[in-house]
Structure 1
Amino acid sequence: MKLVHYQLKHPYTHGRIGVVEKDTVIDLHATQQELLKQQKLPSDSVIIPADPRLFFQRAKVHIKEAEALMVQMKNHTTSHVFKRDEVILETPSANPSKIICVGTNYADHVKEMGSELPEHPVLFAKFHNALIGPEDAIYKASATEKLDYEVELAVVIGETATKVSEEAALDYVAGYAIGNDISARDLQKRTSQWLQGKSLDHTTPVGPWLVTTSELPDPSNLSIKSYVNGELRQSSNTEHLIFDIPHLISFISNLMTLEPGDIILTGTPDGVGFALNPSQFLNDGDSVTLEIEQIGTLTNRVVSS
């Protein structure tokens, strides 16, 4: 199942939770209300929230409810279906408490950046100000001349995880999306701490939807690519992660509690603009397309801000 956080264009609506099927978006809350009415059951028994923030507070529970609803709808019809061009897609996890990023997690990327293979996952943070949706523009701030792209598999946590084992780690995942860990290399590298180059306003698209674990149970062998203006820049596979997804979830949850809706950006492969000869950074008007097998594509345009 592909979950989306969407808004209607006309009339405008606040963000709601839906499911993508082919070229349509189905509203979960309204569809459940409609089904209950068809079955002559009280509508106040609706249990799937309309608000994405409430949905992700109990993501694993509500995903199961949504999957059951979609099975029921095979024998029913709903009027709460919208064409893709009638909606705007937002970041699937509407208000994550944490955006945790993993650096130097593909060996070839470690080599091209002149770094050493890490003994432990290299963690840093982004903040909510950086997060944007799949249809938003990436801002190129005047503070940087070296804005770079990084395709990454994004993991969204589905229930509270504290000190979980690697064996149990994937049980805590709501699903997977595509993330672009946009980096201002000049700001990132002027100090030993990366934060200032990693959390500029309006720079980190995540989307276009969340593919739930029932549809994507194993993230360990997925093709991962990036393109700038149609030119292939990065091409690898998640099988080449130095620290795989179960290890990352276990490692992080033994340091801090992961909460539903939290996002983990798991690292980028080689081929970033900084490491090309000569380096090639993003400029106003550039189009960046990211592609991960079994998830889809994410395309954002760069604009000067």
Structure 2
Amino acid sequence: MKLVSYRNQGRSGFGAVKDDGVVDLTKRLPAVADLAALVANPADLAQARRLVDTASPDFALAALALEPVIPNPSKIICVGINYVAHAAEAGRTVGQYPVIFHRFAQTLVAHGAPIIRPRVSNQFDFEAELAVVIGKGGSHIKPEDAMDHVAGYTCFNDASVRDWQFHTHQYGMGKNFRGTGSLGPWLVTADEIRDYRELSIQGSLNGECLQTGRLSELAFDIPGLIAYVSQALDWQPGDILATGTPSGIGFKRQPPIFLKPGDTFDVVIPGVGTLSNPVADEA
């Protein structure tokens, strides 16, 4: 299934994409609060599949205002320097442990919404990534059990304010400006992806492909990342793991390429979807 969160006539909802429409699961599963709650409960998820199989869409997908797939995850865990080629272009080497940093939910925007270049910097860069949505929470997860905790996959643009990122050695500030992290357009449930390592990823600016990679190239794989983080933090249903970006980022190009108002950046992961966002200046 492809699952979306959306707003319709001022109300938040969630549903499943079917053809060019959306089957409203909010009204069909009234005891389920939101999409994070849905993916946390295998029985509810199985019921949703049965409902979608027999239902006709309630809305046209194009008529809905999409929200970030999980509008308010309890945490967004991001991984830096997780493709060897990206590490090389950044002048880094892959270390013994993954580079972990965090995003705040309030930085997220949906597919189709503008990502925001901040007032304080013109060094606004793109990072195409595959994001994992956690379904089953837990702590001290073994790597061999980790994929059982995956609800599905979505696209992520970890757009970064580069000069602020490198104000200090701790670069989380450059990753947490308002309206800079786009997530969507939908969650593809894990049963639809036979092996995430077979996925490819592209980042395109105004139709020109600037980033390419394959998920088989991750230095730290998804099971290992889930297990590693779980030693410190309990995963919660709806949490997001952003797996890192391949080479081709803008600030390492000669000359550098930064996002500007009027641009459109697309994250394309065949089998998962295309996340597209225009760029606008902060008001």
Aligned residues: 282
Larger radius of gyration: 1
User: Tell me, what secondary structure is at the counterpart of 1:258?
Assistant: coil
Counterpart residue number, 1:41: none
- Measured in 2, the distance between the counterparts of 1:48 and 1:66 equals 12
User: Tell me, what secondary structure is at the counterpart of 1:20?
Assistant: strand
Counterpart residue number, 2:32: 49
Give a deviation string over 1:242-277, Cα, whole Å, max 9, x none. 011111111111121110010010000000001111
> Percent identity among equivalent residues?
39
- Measured in 1, the distance between the counterparts of 2:150 and 2:119 equals 37
- Measured in 1, the distance between the counterparts of 2:26 and 2:228 equals 35
Matched, 1:66 2:48: yes
**Matching residue within 72, 78, 82 for 2:59:** 82
Structure 1: which 5+ residue stretches go unaligned? Answer: 33-45
Counterpart residue number, 1:222: 199
Counterpart residue number, 1:273: 250
Give a deviation string over 1:48-73, Cα, whole Å, max 9, x none. 526445435x35443222113224x1
- Measured in 2, the distance between the counterparts of 1:218 and 1:230 equals 28
- Measured in 1, the distance between the counterparts of 2:187 and 2:19 equals 15
Counterpart residue number, 2:82: 105
Counterpart residue number, 2:281: 304
Counterpart residue number, 1:130: 107
Question: Is the Cα–Cα contact under 8 Å of residues 220 and 245 in structure 1 kept in the other structure?
Answer: no
Question: Is the Cα–Cα contact under 8 Å of residues 60 and 159 in structure 1 kept in the other structure?
Answer: no
* TM superposition shift of 1:28: 1.5
Give a deviation string over 1:100-155, Cα, whole Å, max 9, x none. 00000000000000112221111000001211111211010111121100000000
Counterpart residue number, 1:24: 21
- Measured in 1, the distance between the counterparts of 2:162 and 2:119 equals 13
- Measured in 2, the distance between the counterparts of 1:233 and 1:226 equals 6
- Measured in 2, the distance between the counterparts of 1:126 and 1:247 equals 20
> Which stretch has the larger CA shift, 13-22 or 219-228?
13-22
Question: Is the Cα–Cα contact under 8 Å of residues 155 and 177 in structure 1 kept in the other structure?
Answer: yes
Counterpart residue number, 1:237: 214
Question: Is the Cα–Cα contact under 8 Å of residues 185 and 275 in structure 2 kept in the other structure?
Answer: yes
- Measured in 2, the distance between the counterparts of 1:19 and 1:81 equals 10
**Matching residue within 149, 157, 168 for 2:126:** 149
- Measured in 2, the distance between the counterparts of 1:195 and 1:269 equals 19
The root-mean-square deviation of aligned C-alpha atoms, in Å, is: 1.5
Question: Is the Cα–Cα contact under 8 Å of residues 131 and 204 in structure 1 kept in the other structure?
Answer: yes
- For the structure 1 residues 288 and 28, does the alpha-carbon distance in structure 2 shift closer, same or farther, using more than 3 Å as the test? same
Structure 2: which 5+ residue stretches go unaligned? Answer: none
- Measured in 1, the distance between the counterparts of 2:240 and 2:217 equals 20
Matched, 1:194 2:171: yes
Give a deviation string over 1:133-186, Cα, whole Å, max 9, x none. 112110101111211000000001001121111111010011100000111111
Matched, 1:173 2:173: no
Question: Is the Cα–Cα contact under 8 Å of residues 139 and 202 in structure 1 kept in the other structure?
Answer: yes
- Measured in 1, the distance between the counterparts of 2:146 and 2:275 equals 26
